[in-house]
Amino acid sequence: MTHIPVLLTEALDALAVRPEGVYVDGTFGRGGHSRALLERLGPNGRLIALDRDPTAIAAGQSITDPRFTLVHARFAEMGAVLEQLGVHDVDGVLLDIGVSSPQLDEAARGMSFRQDAPLDMRMDTSRGETVAQWLARAEEAHIREVIRDYGEERFASAIAKAIVAARSERPVDSTTQLAAIVASAVRTREAGQHPATRSFQALRIFINQELEELSLVLPQALAALKPGGRLAVISFHSLEDRMVKRFMADQASPPQPPRNLPLRADQLPQPKMKLIGRVRAGDDELARNPRARSATLRVAEKVA
């Protein structure tokens, strides 16, 4: 399936792109947002993109625009990448969080239960442990916690027990095998949702440390922004969206000092950001790309 960038126009409008500005696309993917952003930049503009997926880096080699720099790195390494490039502040940061359509649709990645494949799920296939390797050694309690906390799965205990029982007979190392194990342990599920949906999502988030990465990159993005620069984050999962929402709200509402502490107005804590808004996909986009149904774009601007 061709990758369709979600909330493309909305994200670029939210960034309020300045033709001569410097921007960061923290999640290059297949370059849909980056290519569109380059079209809005003038000859002196600059775009720096990051991605942890070697396949995405290979796809990005086709962009030969001198204004464009692509780096193989996790977005949580954004601060270090910008420092290495000698970039001290930027006009905007875009993050499109989560798994991309090509990663889901490429069977060999093992992120989907719809096709039989090795149980991998890594976004960066050049390093780290696969889901199969982790399931082979993890304790039942840890498996239960991961599926419960990252998948918000109410049958996490039964699923973990079933996985441990199954691996005692043979390694759990394929997507269809894991999906069948989970389906045997899940008693009911919402109409139209595969019993393994939440478990696969949880294992993918865990093995790629997606929430940890997000918690690390948000303050780095804020630090990199110029006053007036904007942070735009597209998320697809309630846990991710909640983290983005809280971060932006916290930065827009500084802690209040004790009432009996005498301070001048210029000594009071000042907000670091102001909230710009939240956007969801419209009906036209949902008709073209059903995967956009869970996408939420949140935008905030750094204040002086």
Q: Say if residue 29 is in the same domain as residue 171.
A: no
| Residue 118 three-state SS | strand
Binding residues: 31-33, 51, 75, 96, 103
Is 237 contained in some domain? yes
Q: Which of 44, 22, 150 is nearest to 94 (CA)?
A: 22
Domain boundary among 207, 236, 255: 207
CATH number at residue 142: 1.10.150.170
Instruction: Count CB-CB contacts under 10 A for residue 22.
Output: 23
Q: Say if residue 215 is in the same domain as residue 201.
A: no
Q: Say if residue 93 is in the same domain as residue 224.
A: yes
Binding residues for S-adenosyl-L-methionine: 31-33, 51, 75, 96, 103
pLDDT of 1: 42
Is 118 contained in some domain? no
Structural domain boundaries enclosing 197:
125-207
Q: Which residues lie closer than 8 Å to 54 by C-beta, 6 or more apart?
A: 72, 124, 125, 126
Q: Say if residue 228 is in the same domain as residue 287.
A: yes
Phi and psi for 123 in degrees, rounded to 5?
Answer: -75, -35
Domain boundary among 207, 231, 258: 207
Q: Say if residue 152 is in the same domain as residue 75.
A: no
Q: Say if residue 156 is in the same domain as residue 297.
A: no
In this structure, what DSSP letter does residue 185 have? Answer: H
Instruction: Count CB-CB contacts under 10 A for residue 116.
Output: 12
Is 107 contained in some domain? no
The total of structural domains in the chain comes to: 2
Q: Which residues lie closer than 8 Å to 10 by C-beta, 6 or more apart?
A: 279, 297
Is 116 contained in some domain? no
Consecutive 10-residue runs of the chain (304 residues): their mean pLDDT? Answer: 79 97 96 96 98 95 97 97 97 90 73 91 94 98 98 96 98 97 89 90 96 97 98 95 97 76 69 96 89 92 94
Residue 31 bridge partners (DSSP): none
Q: Say if residue 86 is in the same domain as residue 61.
A: yes
Q: Say if residue 93 is in the same domain as residue 231.
A: yes
Q: Which residues lie closer than 8 Å to 194 by C-beta, 6 or more apart?
A: 113, 179, 183
Pairing relationship of beta strands 225-235 and 296-302 according to DSSP bridges: antiparallel
Is 110 contained in some domain? no
Residue 174 bridge partners (DSSP): 118
C-alpha 109/C-alpha 106 separation (Å) is 6
pLDDT of 31: 94
Q: Say if residue 153 is in the same domain as residue 191.
A: yes
Q: Say if residue 88 is in the same domain as residue 237.
A: yes
pLDDT of 265: 61
C-alpha 39/C-alpha 24 separation (Å) is 14
Q: Say if residue 200 is in the same domain as residue 215.
A: no
C-alpha 19/C-alpha 46 separation (Å) is 9
Is 120 contained in some domain? no
pLDDT of 267: 67
Domain boundary among 192, 207, 222: 207
Q: DSSP secondary structure string, 40-56?
A: HS-TT-EEEEEES-HHH
Is 80 contained in some domain? yes
Q: Which of 254, 280, 248 is nearest to 267 (CA)?
A: 254
Is 188 contained in some domain? yes
pTM of the model: 0.91
CATH number at residue 236: 3.40.50.150
Q: Say if residue 19 is in the same domain as residue 96.
A: yes
In this structure, what DSSP letter does residue 254 have? Answer: P
Which helix (H) or strand (E) segment is 199 a member of? helix 197-207
E strands present in the chain = 22-25, 46-51, 68-72, 90-96, 225-235, 273-280, 296-302
